[in-house]
A and B are shown apart, each in its own frame.
Chain A
Amino acid sequence: QSVLTQPPSAAGTPGQRVTISCSGSSSNIGSNTVSWYQHLPGTAPKLLMFSDNQRPSGVPDRISGSKSGTTASLAISGLQSDDEAHYYCAAWDDSVSGHVVFGGGTKLTVL
Chain B
Amino acid sequence: QVQLQESGPGQVKPSQTLSLSCTVSGASITSGSYYWSWLRQLPGGGLEWIGYISHSGDTSYNPSLRSRVTFSRDTSKNQFSLNLSSLTAADTAIYFCARGLCLYGDCFDCWGQGTLVTVSP
Contact = CB atoms under 8 A, between A and B. Distances in A.
Interface in B41-83: 45-49, 51, 60-63
Contacts of A47: 107-109
Interface stretch (A18-26, A70-78, A96-104): A96-104
A44 B104 contact: no
Contacts of B51: 99
A7 interface: no
Interface residues of B, number: 25
Contacts of B49: 90, 99-102
Interface string A80-97: 000000101011100011
Contact of B63 (A43, A46, A56, A96): A96
21 contacts: A32-B104, A35-B107, A37-B108, A44-B112, A45-B98, A45-B111, A46-B111, A47-B107, A50-B109, A90-B47, A90-B107, A91-B106, A92-B104, A98-B104, A99-B60, A100-B49, A100-B105, A102-B46, A102-B48, A104-B45, A105-B47
Interface of B: 45-49, 51, 60-63, 96, 98, 101-109, 111-114
